[in-house]
Amino acid sequence: MSKISILGAGTWGSALANVLSKNHQITLYSALYVDFVYLKETRIIKNMNWIKIDDSIYVTNDIKEACEGSDYIIFASPSIYIRETIKNAQKYITNNQILINVAKGIDNETLETMGEIITSYCPNNPFVVLSGPTHAEEVIINHPTTIVAASKDEKVAHEVGELFQNTCIRAYTNDDVKGVELCGSLKNVIALAVGIVEGLGYGDNIKAALITRGMAEIRRIGLAYGCNEKTFYGLAGIGDLIVTATSNHSRNNRCGRLIGEGVPPMEATKQIGMVVEGINSLNAAVKLVEQYKTRATIILTLDQIINKGRNPKEVIDELLYKPVISELIDNKEEF
């Protein structure tokens, strides 16, 4: 039995705590005192109030207590809080602890992935990214799920994958850490676009097109970024994009639907009531497109809607008036 600390008691952190508590000793850390008290007293997950966390899970608001003595530390806070979390945790982390990131995002200012932020503070620790099509709402009720453990060290990736043995989660490994993290961030952006066309009342044809062409954009950025092309066709790539773009569990998809129905983007985010990572990652996605000079019509169209206030229907309809192009030639690919 391993000791695992999870820094972040949101839906995904809590779901992972429940799953891993079957075989391991779990400490769950909440940075917000009010949320910590509520979780400790009720054992109820704030945004999944139909289920409680296991009685064996120790809940704390003390990050020192959470980090010390653990074999593995999982970073599960929203991407915008990862830097603050690792800054606060750094002094309590020792080099023998394996650090695991499950947050999906890219820093809008520095364009660092969450893994790059974490390892910049703890460069001597083994590091793994967990990603893939993993809705917390399904994991928490033990529905079959697959996940990717990505690390430059195959042995460490395999070790982290084995933490999920005898649970509802089956793990695969990958050594393309950048590719896995890039997919995890940019798929949220494309999911927003898919939600918008749903909100506009359009059907499955255009949704399938946005998913397919959206992955083409993610792939082009990723190849310029130095990632392995196979990652984009795997669970962390197309697998995670499909589930995020189509599921009602997806806050990115639901936020997009509200925007398509005419709700202003910031108001739509408030109505979701949780962090919408696609909104957070959009500016970074646009910067990556500009930096690598790649074609990314969907990402840039979404920027027009979210950041420049353009009418969603007008902008989406404009995509259909693009000239006829080859689907196969990268340097001419558009929507």
Contact residues for 277 (Cβ-Cβ < 8 A; gap 6+)? 78, 79, 104, 105, 185, 188, 251, 252
At position 164, the amino acid (one-letter code) is F
The runs of H, that is alpha helices, within 163-249 are: 177-199, 204-224, 240-246
Residues 44, 57: Cα–Cα separation, whole Å: 12
Handedness of CA 161, 162, 167, 171 (dihedral sign): positive
Q: Annotate 100-165 with DSSP letters as a single string.
A: EE----B-TTT--BHHHHHHHH-TTS-EEEEESS--HHHHTTT--EEEEEE-SSHHHHHHHHHTTT
Q: Which of 46, 187, 270, 293 is catalytic?
A: 187
Least Cα distance to 279 among 261, 304, 252 occurs for 252
CA distance linking residue 316 with residue 328, whole number of Å: 23
Note if 187 is an active site residue: yes
For residues 133 and 246, the answer to whether their CB atoms sit within 8 Å is no
242, 133 Cβ separation under 8 angstroms? yes
Catalytic residues: 187
